Amino acid sequence: MSLSLPQVPEAIANALDALVNELAAQAGQDFAGLVLYGGLARGRYRAGRSDVNVVVLLHRADASVLRKLAPALRTARRAVGVEAMLLAVSEVATAALDFPTKFLDIQRHRILLHGEDPFATLEIPPSVVQRRIAQSLRNILLRLRRRYLASCDDAEEMQLALADMARPLAIDFSALLQAGGHAVPEEDRTAAIYALAARVFSLDADTLSALADLRDRGYCDDDAVNLCERLLDLLSNLADRVDAMAGAA
């Protein structure tokens, strides 16, 4: 077969094409599908920095099947950085309840390369998404507090700490918007997601805008320590609000 993947580097398209053929040859009827997600599916792939994320869908995911697939996946990883999530088709709906924000992100930004696409009909209750986001926000908050203690007198280190959590926060915001029935910006840019979240949830738009600038440019015009302090307050308040949303649902 030959995959048609616009805006995908030729070497990666060729490697994915070879991977589909090899998985089909080795797993036979146990190979159910292959789904591309992540930065490459979003059109935001960065050569040398981004992984090539795929979901390998199987009818059986026991050790005997995994052993057959191991050589092909190792080759794809060495060739173009393929990182595979292996799931039985029957596991997708249940796993989505355990990892709702990740699976919503896959559902919104994916390219079906072969076979079945269980993400097309995936439904996750909003309260499940909200509870997971509240947990994720608190995780980001706790890590940021720790980084603040370590770097509150070092602006450069503080910028690195903020840049690290900027995109995970955008993914949480995107899932939170979807759970609330809000249309997520078609342009999957952190700044656009932050701007909409600020309007919908009455968040500090200036703080989020500065964080988006920091992620895009690698530095920010705002004082990084002050930006972190404002963000700590924003995350603490928002986590409480999302917990309340989930409880009400």
Could you read off the pLDDT tens digit of each residue along the chain, which spans 249 residues?
445 565 778 889 899 999 999 999 999 999 999 999 988 888 777 776 678 999 999 999 999 999 999 999 999 999 999 999 999 999 999 999 999 999 999 998 899 999 999 999 999 999 999 999 999 999 999 999 999 999 888 888 999 999 999 999 999 999 999 888 898 887 778 999 999 999 999 999 999 999 999 988 877 777 899 999 999 999 999 999 999 988 765
> What are 100's two structure tokens?
């709702």
* pLDDT for the residue numbered 1: 45
**Ramachandran assignment for 60, one of left (phi > 0), alpha (psi -120 to 50 degrees), beta (any other):** beta
Angle at Cα 185 formed by Cα 57 and Cα 33, nearest 5°? 10
Return the amino acid letter for 95.
A
Backbone φ and ψ for 112, nearest 5 degrees, come out as -75, 120
Closest CA to 227 of 172, 147, 168, 171: 147
Q: Is the torsion defined by CA of 39, 66, 76, 31 positive or negative? A: negative
* pLDDT for the residue numbered 6: 57
Q: How many CB atoms lie within 10 A of CB 114?
A: 22
> pLDDT, tens digit, for every residue of 168-210?
999 999 999 988 889 888 777 899 999 999 999 999 999 999 9
pTM for the complete prediction? 0.78
How far, CA to CA in Å, does 222 sit from each of 158, 187, 207, 210, 232?
12, 25, 9, 7, 15
- What is the SS3 string spanning the chain? CCCCCCCCCHHHHHHHHHHHHHHHHHHHHHEEEEEEECHHHHCCCCCCCCCEEEEEEECCCCHHHHHHHHHHHHHHHHHHCEEEEEEEHHHHHHHHHHCHHHHHHHHHCEEEEEECCHHHHCCCCHHHHHHHHHHHHHHHHHHHHHHHHHHCCCHHHHHHHHHHHHHHHHHHHHHHHHHCCCCCCCCCCHHHHHHHHHHHHCCCHHHHHHHHHHHHHCCCCCCHHHHHHHHHHHHHHHHHHHHHHHHHC
Closest CA to 214 of 162, 154, 137: 162
